[in-house]
Amino acid sequence: MPELKERFAALGVRVPEVQLPAAGTDWEKWAVVACDQYSSEHHYWESVADHVGTAPSTLNLIFPECYLEEAGKAERVKRIQAAMKDYLSRGVLAAREPGFVLVERVTPFEKHPRTGLVMAVDLEAYRYGAGVTSRIRPTEGTIVERLPPRMEIRRGAPLELPHIMLLIDDPSRSVIEPLRARAASLPELYDFSLMKESGRVRGWQVSDPAALEGVAAALEKLADAGAYQAKYGSPDVLLFAVGDGNHSLATAKAVWEEVKAAGKEDPAIMDHPARYALVELVNIYDDGLPFHPIHRVLFKADEKSLKDALKAAGGAFEPMPWGDAVRMADEPTAEHRFAFVSGAGSGLLRFSRPTAKLAAGTIQEILDAWLKKNPGTVIDYIHGTDSLEALARKPGNLGLYLPPIDKSSFFATVIRDGVMPRKTFSMGEAPEKRFYIEARKIVR
């Protein structure tokens, strides 16, 4: 398949050799949710550890972000890398035939399943930063200060496990959906229920040349410069937009640049496995793909001071029950609306004359300025409405509920305006996030 390999390379894609658990593994204990979930809820990860026990699990191969600020980080990184080597040496993980993995994910929240395609993408086709026009692009600002601890984990790790999800703008459903239609004829890799009542996941091997050729042809049509120019008025094709795992992909890029620089005298360095990153590709028009806002919780916050800052920036507060405030924040309107909640009560926050394009931009600018003046306050970004309310009602905390964004205008917004304000949207509630299942070697 040399010609097919070249066609994928031109698209920034590589057919990976995926590692999956060997026969006899308890899949339900193997798969755990993305490490950036439940970042303020230690009890969640502690209960996962209790549930997994000594069974082989991706829990031992990742660094839950709720522990990033705690002592013993270096020792945890060593344990992760040692567990990866142990799983490889003992045959806990086994390489499968090179191919994509078609994934169907059922969640407790959506009527339709979400369908994705696990593949590797070329980090040479990806850039992050202001004004980038690369084929693979972030959709929100990348905070470079967040990369070093993640880079420590990836450096020296023999494996990567993806929670990165890339989006394609495919209204004709030409790339992934034809594979799902013929899934019954594909070799099944796994089918199991996820822990913590997070739904079910199925996976199929996509390795026969005809199926791969179909994916390549469909992606080539999406990447056609003429059609793209006619649709968006831009010559710079955005083929893959980062939907989840922005900082994980940026970490992979940063480490690849280190590997490339260190091996500049090696003629084969450009074929190093670290050049690629394993991701799941999802069509933005997939019926099972929700777009939810990401909410804000402020810990140890002076509520009066914060509300005064929001009022000074043009905000108006209206006390009301929490449920009513959330419903009003969800209503389509030219205003930027937020529901707020704390131990003292709840209500609606309105900005009737916003200057930012998105509600997340309005609130984040104000919060960033206020947090600089109040270094004792810590902010966290929460994906679920229930988690937001539970955390915000604790003494000293305050939560802000953000309105949803329209996913049908997603690509047009990124192409026209560049990256969105950070933590603008989330593709589902926390239990709907990608669970770690597949792995790939990133060392020779």
CATH fold for the domain made of 293-404: 3.30.1760
Inter-residue contact 380 to 40 (CB < 8 Å): yes
Closest CA to 341 of 400, 296, 404: 400
| Contact of 201 with 31, CB cutoff 8 Å | yes
Q: Where are the alpha helices (DSSP H) in 112-265?
A: 147-154, 177-181, 209-222, 225-232, 246-262
C-beta neighbour count of 218 within 10 angstroms: 20
d(CA 144, CA 98): 33
Confidence (pTM): 0.85
Structure tokens at 6: 């070249």
- CA distance readout (Å), 183 to 17, 187, 287: 20, 8, 17
Domain boundaries, the chain: 2-290+429-441, 293-404
The tokens describing 48, both together, are: 């996962």
Q: Is 114 helix (H, G, I), strand (E, B) or coil?
A: strand
R_g over Cα of the chain: 22
As a whole number of angstroms, the distance between CA 115 and CA 168 comes to 12
pLDDT of the chain along its 444 residues, tens only? 679 999 999 999 999 999 999 999 999 999 999 999 999 899 999 999 999 999 999 999 999 999 988 999 999 999 999 999 999 999 999 999 999 999 999 999 999 999 999 999 999 999 998 889 999 999 988 889 889 989 999 999 999 999 999 999 999 999 999 999 999 999 999 999 999 999 999 999 999 999 999 999 999 999 999 999 999 999 999 999 999 999 999 999 999 999 999 999 999 999 999 999 999 999 999 999 998 889 999 999 999 999 999 999 999 999 999 999 999 999 999 999 999 999 999 999 999 999 888 899 899 999 999 999 999 999 999 878 898 999 999 999 999 999 988 777 788 888 887 888 878 888 888 899 999 999 999 999
Q: Tell me the two tokens of residue 406.
A: 């329209």
